Amino acid sequence: MKILVADDDAVSRLVMSRLMERSGYEVVTAEDGREAAEALATLGGPRLALIDWMMPELDGPGVCRQVRSRHNGSYVYITLLTSKESKEDIVVGLEAGADDYLTKPCNPEELKARLRTGMRILDLEDKLVEAREDMRFKANHDALTALWNRGAILADFERELIRVRREHSTLSLLLCDVDHFKRINDVNGHLVGDDVLQQMASRFLESVRPYDAVGRYGGEEFLILLTGCTATLAQKRAEELRDSVARRAFRTSGGDLSVTISIGALTTCDWANHLTASQLLHEADQALYRAKAEGRNRVCTSRPLP
């Protein structure tokens, strides 16, 4: 792990650096407080710091305050090294944001033991961040396909609809349904059905632009949002998507399967400007229903309301 050794005295800095290197740390040094604060603000910079209290440019408590004022980046565990022994000075240092302090000259073994405590705290913080990010991902993504889940894709749709109406742009929806999916599950088993859904998700992601959105709408249905896409282009993209699914077999645990999809397409335009998100989805769903009624493996577009 990287550790910052900040001290304006060259001899003290060298002695401390060598001690840390012998203890297995990757050492970064700073000669004054400004340099120390900049090193700790660097992406991938040290997350452990030994900061001398008295330094030019910015003292130890000043470095602590500057580091703690940042609202992003990983936590930095800071130990102040000081010759000050009064309780008042110690309180000042801790209130400035220091995690620990040692009075100079410090005992090497005590210093190493306290740094191990700091590493345990950083490890705990990393685990908490990882757990938080995992929870955030699970709250917005489908567990099977890792696509946006229904709630997330619908929320994105609502936001995009507000944006395109404000900017007088267009937004196209593709509501896709895997044809005869129940038969796939009944004949081949649910694990094969899961294989199909996972590979379907991958093909959809490969076929859209980075700024488009793909979500699992429910069961074997997927919702794709194409921003800034005209009706003509949306129908072309939908046909390309349908064809890419139909012409390449799906490799599953039960063997290769030929799978097709039906798509209901809708593009926001003048006739749809007064419709809510739910009403637009209903129109796309009606187009999908027609695609399935007309034989499946096809694209049907929503028709303007009378």
The predicted structure's pLDDT at residue 273:
66
The tokens for 192 are 């094969």
Q: Is 220 a catalytic residue?
A: yes
Full-model pTM: 0.72
Just give the CATH number of 2-139. Answer: 3.40.50.2300
Task: Tell the residue number behind the tokens 């979500």, with chain if given.
Answer: 215
For residue 283, CA distances in Å to 15, 49, 172, 240, 262 come to 74, 60, 12, 21, 15
Res 303: pLDDT: 65
For residue 241, what are the contacts with CB-CB under 8 A and spacing of at least 6? 174, 176, 203, 204, 207, 224, 261, 263
CATH match of 150-301 with 3.30.70.270: yes
- The domain segmentation of the chain, as residue ranges, is 2-139, 150-301
Q: Of the listed 35, 160, 220, 221, which one is catalytic?
A: 220
Between CA 38 and CA 45, with CA 44 as vertex, the angle to 5 degrees is 40
What is the reported pLDDT for 212? Answer: 95
DSSP 236: H
In tens digits, the chain (306 residues) has pLDDT values of: 899 999 999 999 999 999 999 999 999 999 999 999 999 998 889 999 999 999 998 999 999 999 999 877 789 999 999 887 677 878 888 899 999 989 888 889 999 999 999 999 999 999 998 999 999 999 999 999 999 999 999 999 999 998 888 888 889 999 999 999 999 999 999 999 999 999 999 999 999 999 999 999 999 999 999 998 888 999 999 999 999 999 999 999 999 999 999 999 998 875 566 788 999 999 999 999 999 999 999 999 986 544
Residue 103: how many CB atoms within 10 A of its CB?
Answer: 13
Instruction: Order the strands of the 221-227 sheet from edge to edge.
Output: 213-218, 221-227, 171-178, 261-267, 299-301
| Same fold? 2-139, 150-301 | no
